[in-house]
Amino acid sequence: MVDIRIPIGLMFTIVGIIISVFGFVTISNTEMYHKSLGINVNIIMGILMLIFGLIMLFFAFRKKKKA
Amino acid sequence: MRVDLSWVDYLIMIIYFLFVLGIGWFLRKFMKNANAFLEAGRSMPAWVAGLAFISTNLGALEVMGMTGSGMKYGMLTTHFYWIGAIPAMIFLALFMMPFYYGSKARSVPEFLKLRYDEKTRALNAILFAVMTVLASGISMYALALLMENVLGWNFNLSLWISALIVLGYTYLGGLSSAIYNEVLQFFIIVIGLLPLAFLALKDVGGWVGLKAQLAPIAISRGFPADTFTTTWSHTGQATSNPLGVEWYGILFGLGFVLSFGYWCTNFLIVQRAFAAESKAAARKVPLIGALPKMFIPFLIIVPGIIALALSHDPGKGFTIPADAGGGLNYNLTIIMLLKQYLPTGVLGLGITALLASFMSGMAGNVSAFNTVWTYDIYQSYIRPRTGNEEADGKHYLKVGRIATIFGILLSIASAYIAGKFGNIMDFLQTIFSMINAPLFAVIFLGMFWKRTTGHAAFWGLLLGFLMALLHHGLTIPAGATSLVKGGWIASLHTYPVEMAQNFWTAIIAFTVSTTVTIGLTLLTKQKKSDEELTGLVYSLTPRTIVDKDLPWYQRPAGLAILVGVIFLVLTIMFW
Per-residue confidence (pLDDT) for residue B321, from 0 to 100:
82
CB distance B338 to B350 below 8 Å: yes
CB distance B437 to B506 below 8 Å: yes
CB distance B473 to B487 below 8 Å: yes
The answer to whether residue B493 scores a pLDDT higher than 80 is yes
Interface probe for A, chosen from B344, B347, B360 (most Cβ of A below 10 Å), is B344
The answer to whether residue A40 scores a pLDDT higher than 80 is yes
What's the pLDDT tens digit per position in B8-60? 999 999 999 999 999 999 888 888 888 888 888 888 899 999 999 999 888 88
C-beta neighbour count of B15 within 10 angstroms: 17
| Alpha helices (H) along B319-388 | 333-341, 346-371
Residue of B nearest to A23 (CA): B345
CB distance B336 to B320 below 8 Å: yes
Domain ranges of chain A: 5-66
Per-residue confidence (pLDDT) for residue B1, from 0 to 100:
67
Nearest to B475 by CA among B456, B492, B499: B492
What's the pLDDT tens digit per position in B119-160? 999 999 998 998 888 888 888 888 888 888 888 888 899 889
Q: Which chain B residues are within 8 Å of A18, Cβ to Cβ?
A: 8, 11-12, 15
Q: Is B178 exposed, middle or buried (0-12, 13-18, 19+ CB in 10 A)?
A: buried
DSSP 8-state secondary structure symbol assigned to residue B44: B
As a whole number of angstroms, the distance between CA B75 and CA B496 comes to 20
Which residue among B22, B187, B342 places its CB closest to the CB of A35?
B342
What's the pLDDT tens digit per position in A13-24? 999 999 999 999
What are φ and ψ of residue B475, in 5° steps? -125, 155
8 Å CB contact of B344 and A32: yes
- B340 and chain A: CB distance < 8 Å anywhere? yes
DSSP 8-state secondary structure symbol assigned to residue B377: I
Per-residue confidence (pLDDT) for residue B545, from 0 to 100:
66
As a whole number of angstroms, the distance between CA B307 and CA B355 comes to 21
Mean pLDDT score across all residues of chain B: 88
- A65 and chain B: CB distance < 8 Å anywhere? no
Complex ipTM: 0.94
8 Å CB contact of B345 and A42: yes
CB distance A13 to A50 below 8 Å: yes
- A7 and chain B: CB distance < 8 Å anywhere? yes
What's the pLDDT tens digit per position in B30-41? 888 888 888 888
- A6 and chain B: CB distance < 8 Å anywhere? no
Distance from CA of B46 to the nearest CA of A (A): 13
Average pLDDT over residues B195-215: 92
The answer to whether residue B542 scores a pLDDT higher than 90 is no
Per-residue confidence (pLDDT) for residue B475, from 0 to 100:
87
| Alpha helices (H) along B259-388 | 259-265, 267-274, 279-293, 297-311, 333-341, 346-371
8 Å CB contact of B11 and A18: yes
Distance from CA of A36 to the nearest CA of B (A): 5
Positive or negative, the CA dihedral B511, B513, B518, B520 is positive
Give the pLDDT band (50/70/90) at residue B549.
confident
Highest mean pLDDT range out of B225-239, B244-258, B539-553, B559-573? B559-573
- B346 and chain A: CB distance < 8 Å anywhere? yes
Q: Which chain A residues are within 8 Å of B356, Cβ to Cβ?
A: none
- B176 and chain A: CB distance < 8 Å anywhere? yes
CA B344 → CA B67, B227, B352, B432, distances in Å?
22, 35, 12, 41
- A45 and chain B: CB distance < 8 Å anywhere? yes
Q: How far is CA B133 from the centre of its chain?
A: 14
Question: How many residues make up chain B in this entry?
Answer: 575
8 Å CB contact of A41 and B345: yes
- A47 and chain B: CB distance < 8 Å anywhere? no
Domain ranges of chain B: 16-28+44-382+544-575, 430-542
Per-residue confidence (pLDDT) for residue A66, from 0 to 100:
66
Interface probe for B, chosen from A17, A36, A37 (most Cβ of B below 10 Å), is A36
Strands annotated E in B430-533? 475-477, 493-495
B16-28+44-382+544-575 carries CATH number 1.20.1730.10: yes
Q: Which chain A residues are within 8 Å of B180, Cβ to Cβ?
A: 2, 4, 7
Q: Which chain B residues are within 8 Å of A41, Cβ to Cβ?
A: 195, 199, 342-343, 345-346
Residues linked to residue B44 through DSSP beta bridges, in sequence order: B276
